[in-house]
Structure 1
Amino acid sequence: MNSVRATLAFLCLTFTVAACDYKLAPLSQKEKQVVTELTAKLKARCVGRYLIDMPEDASEYGDAKILGVDITAKAMTEEAYRQEIEQREVVLKTVKDNYPRPVLYEVGPIHGKDTYYFIYRDAVIDSPATRYIEGYKWDRGYRFLLKIEASDYLHPNQTNDPIVKKFDVKNDVPAKTALVFSIMEKLSGRPKEEIPTEPGLCFAGGFLPGRATDDQFVNSGFRLANNRDVFFDVLVDTEPHGNTTLLQHADSPEGRWALKAMDAKVIRKGVVDLSGVKAEEWLFEGLKPGDGRGDSFSLSVHGTTSGPATPYLSLDMNTGGRLEIGGKFVSLETGSLSTGEAVALWDAVSRTVRLRPGSL
């Protein structure tokens, strides 16, 4: 999972790095007013074990992956949560199947009325050994959904299969079920403005208390309320991210080749100091999907030194490109912010990145 995300991040970078310098003009009075309004109410937001100040009205979305368990949180009432559980159980009990039944192996509450789980096979094409463990929890106005894939080669018995014989564990369903239950018990709902004071991991709508460990990944996004094409993506990960820095990726032969194709222009690049932590940034303007133009800014912290005590952070800001309006994607000729306005907003937001006190 992490390697796929890293590859995608690399491709995004190499296809959006600048080919020549962009001459940034001083902001006009109108642009200064726009920036003042955008940055007047910045509020701290918790992402992973970091804090970053975002425009107060920015919407937040995202998910987490902890020890292989995918986790999402969604704001909803307790009544809506119970209806979702009931509907999910109906769906799983009525799935048609070509393999020996059951499709739904286990179902029931975990830790009281506000938790529930399912163990099932998802579709006809799944192997008889495939299992999906799905856990639900409602807490403080948020519904959590946890999911992980497991395998059971004992029911039905496939231990005579030459490939299965090589597996040290023939049935990891009990261990992974226990993992889901353990994480679920600790999770708590968290409004976006709430900043925890104890060690733990933040993601959109939720908080998982505990010390930093390996295999903790958070993906969060923030979209501006009145500039819908302007959004920030924040990735936080405790896994190693290789030996190549952001700027080294940008200066690679593949990157230089892509720059020309995109007619991209460098605004700024280099090393920046964030509360005593060295980071790298690369800002550029260029063609976006749909032939419009826009800005793409990136910042990386602990790019080659990531681990539980030094979580990797990637911050990206994008303007322009495609915007979904009324269920349809519209290609924008230019972004809603001028490049000067975008850089000023980036500087106001990106320089606030810091490790949350006591988070580790």
Structure 2
Amino acid sequence: MTEQEKATVHALTTELETRCMGRYLIDLPKDIRTFGDSFIEGVTFEAIPASKAEFLQNISAREANLNSLVNLAGGYRVLYEHGVVPAIADSYYFVSLESPKGQSSDMPRIVEAYRWDRGYQIKLQSEATDMVNSVYVRENKGTPYGIHGELINDVPEKKRLVFGLLGRVEGRDEATIPTVPGVCFLGGFLHGSAGEKEDLSGQYYLRDKQDVNFVLETTSFIHEKTTLLQRGDSINDALKERNGHTVRKGVVDLPGMQAEEWLMAGTTYLYIPGHHFVLEANSKTGSALTPLVELDLDNGDILPDDWQGDPPRKASLTEKEVVALWDAVSRTLRPRPNGF
């Protein structure tokens, strides 16, 4: 490496901070922007920083918004239920029409529940169906193109699921690393033993180099038929399409798991030379206790949704820099102690 490359790598890797995603830990550069998606037992988890006053204002605004919406397709109600979640402090829930303005049937519903805890507004949401109390079903049952068979109403079941999860969730800043079993997601933590329906991801963009980002995903219900290295033919075909080449590939021993990596260079989706590095563990054994884990690093590629201005004309890091960053970060990936 040149002296400039050494300085860049030193600045990126000397102050790594531990982050928790799912039931795993990883050490990442200090100055990053974080995004995330979390689905547990079919429920979407979201959390944003908010004071208690802001939380109450947001709940009032949400209720007013749902009450103001008019279903133009069938004249159906939009808000069906709302109120405090029983036995959970600083909580509220709504049951509403799934697509309020244009929904052509009143069967699809959304159950959403909110909780304020430790400076975070936490939202859980699940889809539901109510055919029993549906005006559409009542008006169309028995017609040639209407509803036939058993009528389903899983709203009560979905409410129990969402409320149960809401009672186990708490707010969490990124610097807080839990010491008890549970799942980390952006802005929160769900207490509990490992389950078979956990799908979480975190995206981490370097603030001053936003074409450089890590993605860490853990999924407890995917079982691949092949490992990363066994998918070499399809990977090599993709590299040919992008005028790319393999920088490095092989087996990687990590704490508590054996992984495989494939480091690639080629033309990115921004149409510039860049890199895509992949590490994969538990490919064939995905389960609650050994979830499929994938870590990606892109250089000169995917930009955050709120990117402003023209795309970069070249990748922020050289090949030597991005490999050094990858080696510093990827080797810190490990299961969180007592996480499962």
Same-fold call, TM cutoff 0.5: yes
1:32-56: CA deviations, max 9, x gaps?
1211111111121111111111112
Seen in structure 2, the aligned counterparts of structure 1 residues 109 and 286 have a Cα distance that, compared at 3 Å, is same
1:260 aligns with 240
Q: Separation in 1 of the partners of 2:53 and 2:110? A: 25
1:146-191: CA deviations, max 9, x gaps?
1111001111273845985555x71100000110101111110111
Deviation of residue 332 (structure 1)?
Answer: 2.1
**One-letter code aligned to 1:39:** T
Deviation of residue 276 (structure 1)?
Answer: 4.5
1:15 aligns with none
Instruction: Report how many residues are paired.
Output: 331
Identity across the alignment (%): 38
Unmatched segments (≥5 aa) in structure 2: none
2:170 aligns with 188
**One-letter code aligned to 2:260:** E
Deviation of residue 101 (structure 1)?
Answer: 4.0
Q: Separation in 2 of the partners of 1:151 and 1:191? A: 34
Deviation of residue 99 (structure 1)?
Answer: 3.1
Q: Tell me: higher relative CO, structure 1 or 2? Use CA pairs within 8 A at least 6 residues apart.
A: 1
- 1:1-360, aligned counterparts within 5 Å? 27-97=1-71, 98-99=73-74, 101-110=76-85, 111=87, 114-121=90-97, 122-123=99-100, 124-156=102-134, 158=137, 160=141, 165-167=148-150, 170-252=152-234, 255-321=235-301, 323=303, 328=308, 330-360=310-340
Equivalent residue of 1:135, what SS? strand
Q: Separation in 2 of the partners of 1:223 and 1:302? A: 25
Native 8 Å contact 1:295 1:320 kept in 2: yes
Equivalent residue of 2:210, what SS? coil
Native 8 Å contact 1:142 1:189 kept in 2: yes
Equivalent residue of 1:330, what SS? coil
Q: Separation in 1 of the partners of 2:88 and 2:254? A: 44
1:18 aligns with none
Q: Separation in 2 of the partners of 1:128 and 1:91? A: 18
Seen in structure 2, the aligned counterparts of structure 1 residues 232 and 327 have a Cα distance that, compared at 3 Å, is closer
1:3 aligns with none
Q: Separation in 2 of the partners of 1:126 and 1:165? A: 18
Q: Separation in 2 of the partners of 1:323 and 1:59? A: 12
Unmatched segments (≥5 aa) in structure 1: 1-26
Native 8 Å contact 1:322 1:330 kept in 2: no
Native 8 Å contact 2:270 2:300 kept in 1: no
Scaled by the length of structure 1, what TM-score is found? Answer: 0.86
